[in-house]
Amino acid sequence: MTNTILKINASARITASASRPLVDRAVAKLSGADTRVIERDLSAAVPSVDEQWLNANWTPADARTAEQTAALELSDTLIAELKEADTIVIGLPMYNFGVPASFKAWVDLIARNGETFAYTDEGAKGLLEGKRAVVIVATGGVPIGSAADHATPFVTTVLGFVGITDVTFIDAASLVANSDTVVPKAEAAIDALAA
């Protein structure tokens, strides 16, 4: 049985990124001979939702115009990647106390009623249950779990909202002052992950 990993890099940096090598390490650790990896790089601009997108999203699929279907094309692709994945590995830098704008745009495109969650009499229910997420958080100076960390609570809430509650955070925080110790600790935490 094929194991599918969705590899998401949200760092705007390519060559000097702290999170990208850790993401590669985590994907390698969690991969086996039968693993398929879907790669999604958010360093390229991810469009924000706009009025056209919102109108298309709230129009029943069988009533959408060709333009509305086209407006949802990227969203449909991103959701399909999530649905196919057994494990999601996310490289998440913290920019100005929160997630990068491209990651927030990705969230807006994948959080869709009837696709990744559904409204029920008991409230919203995530539709992506049974998946696992590993989130590698790299920061310049903000400690994970501190009052200034608005990234990890957001990610926990968003993933839980779509049904992904098995979430492991890998701490690569405070790199500016402690780069010589932070990266080895993050690598050790990745190496300790159960495959």
Q: What is the pLDDT of residues 88-116, one digit of tens each?
A: 999 999 999 999 999 999 999 999 999 99
Confidence band (pLDDT; 50, 70, 90) for 143? Answer: very high
Give 195's pLDDT tier (boundaries 50, 70, 90): confident
pLDDT on residue 177: 81
| Three-class SS state of 137 | strand
* pLDDT of 40 higher than 80: yes
Separation of first and last alpha carbons in the chain:
15
Q: Is 122 exposed, middle or buried (0-12, 13-18, 19+ CB in 10 A)?
A: exposed
Query: Mean pLDDT over residues 51-59, rounded?
Result: 97
Q: Are 7 and 27 in contact (CB under 8 A)?
A: yes
Cβ atoms of 41 and 72 closer than 8 Å: no
> Which residue in the block uniquely carries the two structure tokens 């704008």?
101
Contact of 175 with 182, CB cutoff 8 Å: yes
Residues 6+ apart with CB under 8 A from 87: 3, 4, 5, 6, 30, 131, 132, 133, 134
Q: What is the pLDDT of residues 146-171, one digit of tens each?
A: 999 999 999 999 999 999 999 999 99
What are the tens digits of pLDDT across the range 58-87? 999 999 999 999 999 999 999 999 999 999
Domain residues for 18? Answer: 3-191
**Contact between residue 154 and residue 161 where contact means Cβ atoms under 8 Å apart:** no
Nearest to 98, CA basis, from 60, 34, 153, 26: 153
Q: With 80 as the cut, is the pLDDT of residue 1 above it?
A: no
- The answer to whether 17 and 99 have CB atoms below 8 angstroms apart is no
Query: What is the three-class DSSP state of 102?
Result: helix
pLDDT at 179 over 90: no
Say what the pLDDT of residue 178 is. 82
Query: Is residue 145 pLDDT above 80, yes or no?
Result: yes
Domain count, the chain: 1
CATH number, residue 122 = 3.40.50.360
For residue 193, pLDDT beyond 90: yes
Residues 4-23: tens digit of each pLDDT: 999 999 999 999 899 999 99
Could you tell me which of 158, 155, 161, 184 has the C-alpha nearest to residue 171?
184
